[in-house]
């Protein structure tokens, strides 16, 4: 099945899409460091990226998607999210970095059977509620374009009138759903929340819902209190710490939860040598080097080993790397290495990142966990192949 990837970044979403069985026909990304990362792994034939086409390095606004019409099963991407980020200025539609219009244009011109777009959770803030509706309406009716002198508010009203009254031909139409997904609930060792949009072309008649969550905090609490978590990791009794805030929740658990336990930072990186204490052993792993300068202060306390990591940040606000620190059992902190961060984002170990530590952490902090993308894309593929039949339930 064929796909194109927009706003590719370091390739987390695209790799998940490829892992699900889609073959990218084009990769578009404006940032040269990200393109260098993709090219380096592509040239080395590493993993799923080895089969990717040469990335189109440049402004997506200059790319013509018309030649892809009738040839694509999927369009994916993460339109730049700074306008909606909790750390940004919240400019939304007034921000020149808002590329949602280009995502809609790609759908309009290529007419894929489905699309998957993602963005930061901040897009679902109450202050952006109306603009979120505008995004969904545009994705639903991508051919109903705004006039040159039409404001986005007026365009939204026209889209809503069309949606409720269907005045004129419907044209190209998609059935669109969106949901905020917590990556930890799908087995990713990081509490990372992203809003994901999925749409299927209406003529396909596909019924779809997001995949069910498979992992839970309750299951982790149970595994640490009554299961084999500590023995599995060979942790000494004095280092076995269950967060005090979970004690009441533990008392309420009467039986083992059906879900799998949340995956923890220790699950993800526990078998890697500590780059500060074992630098020689650490050199055997790509991008696994100690980065000095980490310090803990209010709001930046690091990620405990025995919980999923806190959300990796892109490192453009505050201290380099922001919250991207490991909190050891002795309460000391150090920055995650690039390799450790890549594992928290479920990139394969052979995948190499191009650029300085700050630059690669920016790439990782903006990335979609590879496995989360795979889970969503795999389910989309099943429905494209088999429709919404009971065979998939």
Answer for the pair 93, 53: CB distance below 8 angstroms, yes or no: no
Confidence of residue 357 (pLDDT cuts 50, 70, 90): confident
DSSP secondary-structure letter at 297? B
Confidence of residue 315 (pLDDT cuts 50, 70, 90): low
Whole-number Å distance between alpha carbons of 318 and 336: 16
Q: What is the mean pLDDT of the chain?
A: 89
Q: For CATH 3.40.50.150, list the domain ranges present in the chain.
A: 2-213+369-392
Tell me the pTM: 0.91
Q: In the chain, pLDDT over 70 holds for what percent of residues? A: 90
- The least confident of 84-88, 192-196, 298-302, 352-356 is 84-88
Confidence of residue 230 (pLDDT cuts 50, 70, 90): very high
Confidence of residue 318 (pLDDT cuts 50, 70, 90): very low
Residue 34 is among the residues annotated as catalytic for this protein:
no
State yes or no: pLDDT of 330 exceeds 90.
Answer: no
- pLDDT, tens digit (0-9, with 9 covering 90-100), for 10-34: 999 999 999 999 999 999 999 999 9
Answer for the pair 84, 195: CB distance below 8 angstroms, yes or no: no
Closest CA to 119 of 15, 222, 24, 198: 198
Answer for the pair 352, 49: CB distance below 8 angstroms, yes or no: no
Radius of gyration, alpha carbons of the chain: 22
Closest CA to 198 of 181, 177, 172, 228: 177
State yes or no: pLDDT of 355 exceeds 50.
Answer: yes
Whole-number Å distance between alpha carbons of 11 and 51: 13
- pLDDT, tens digit (0-9, with 9 covering 90-100), for 89-146: 434 454 456 789 999 999 999 999 999 999 989 899 898 899 999 999 999 999 999 9
- pLDDT, tens digit (0-9, with 9 covering 90-100), for 62-103: 999 999 999 999 999 999 865 554 444 434 454 456 789 999
State the Cα angle at 62 between 70 and 158, rounded to 5°. 70
Q: What is the CATH number of domain 2-213+369-392?
A: 3.40.50.150
State yes or no: pLDDT of 393 exceeds 60.
Answer: no
State yes or no: pLDDT of 243 exceeds 70.
Answer: no
Burial grade of 238 (CB within 10 A; 0-12, 13-18, 19 or more): exposed
Closest CA to 195 of 114, 136, 263, 137: 136
Per annotation, catalytic residue among 34, 35, 81, 157: 81
Compute φ and ψ for 177, nearest 5 degrees: -130, 155
């Amino acid at each position: 099945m064929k796909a194109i990837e927009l706003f590719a970044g370091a390739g987390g979403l695209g790799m998940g899409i490829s892992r699900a069985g889609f073959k990218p026909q084009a990769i578009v990304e404006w940032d040269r460091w990200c393109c260098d990362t993709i090219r380096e792994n592509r040239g080395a034939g590493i993993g799923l990226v080895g089969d990717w086409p040469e990335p189109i390095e440049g402004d997506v606004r200059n790319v013509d998607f018309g030649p892809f019409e009738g040839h694509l099963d999927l369009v994916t991407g993460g339109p730049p999210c700074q306008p909606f980020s909790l750390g940004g200025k919240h400019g939304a539609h007034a921000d020149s970095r808002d590329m949602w219009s280009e995502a809609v244009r790609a759908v309009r011109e290529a007419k894929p059977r489905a699309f998957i777009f993602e963005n930061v959770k901040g897009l679902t803030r109450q202050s952006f509620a109306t603009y979120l509706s505008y995004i969904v309406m545009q994705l639903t009716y991508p051919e109903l374009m705004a006039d040159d002198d039409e404001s986005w508010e007026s365009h939204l009203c026209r889209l809503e009138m069309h949606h409720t009254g269907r005045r004129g031909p419907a044209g190209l139409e998609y059935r669109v759903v969106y949901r905020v997904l917590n990556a930890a609930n799908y087995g990713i060792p990081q509490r990372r929340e992203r809003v994901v949009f999925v749409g299927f072309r209406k003529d396909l008649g596909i019924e779809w819902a997001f995949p069910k969550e498979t992992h839970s905090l309750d299951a982790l609490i149970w595994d640490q209190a009554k299961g084999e978590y500590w023995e599995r990791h060979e942790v000494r009794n004095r280092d076995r710490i269950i967060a005090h805030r979970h004690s009441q929740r533990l008392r309420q658990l009467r039986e083992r939860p059906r879900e799998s336990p949340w995956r923890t930072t220790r699950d993800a990186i526990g078998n890697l040598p500590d780059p500060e204490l074992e630098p020689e052993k650490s050199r055997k792993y790509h991008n696994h080097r100690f980065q000095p300068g980490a310090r803990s202060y209010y709001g930046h306390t690091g990620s405990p080993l025995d919980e999923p990591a806190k959300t990796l940040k892109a490192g453009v606000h505050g201290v380099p790397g922001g919250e991207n620190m490991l909190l050891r059992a002795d309460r000391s902190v150090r920055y995650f290495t690039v390799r450790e961060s890549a594992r928290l984002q479920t990139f394969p170990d052979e995948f190499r990142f191009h650029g300085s530590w700050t630059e690669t952490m920016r790439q990782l902090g903006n990335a979609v966990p590879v496995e989360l993308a795979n889970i969503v894309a795999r389910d989309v593929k099943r429905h494209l192949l088999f429709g919404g039949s009971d065979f998939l339930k």
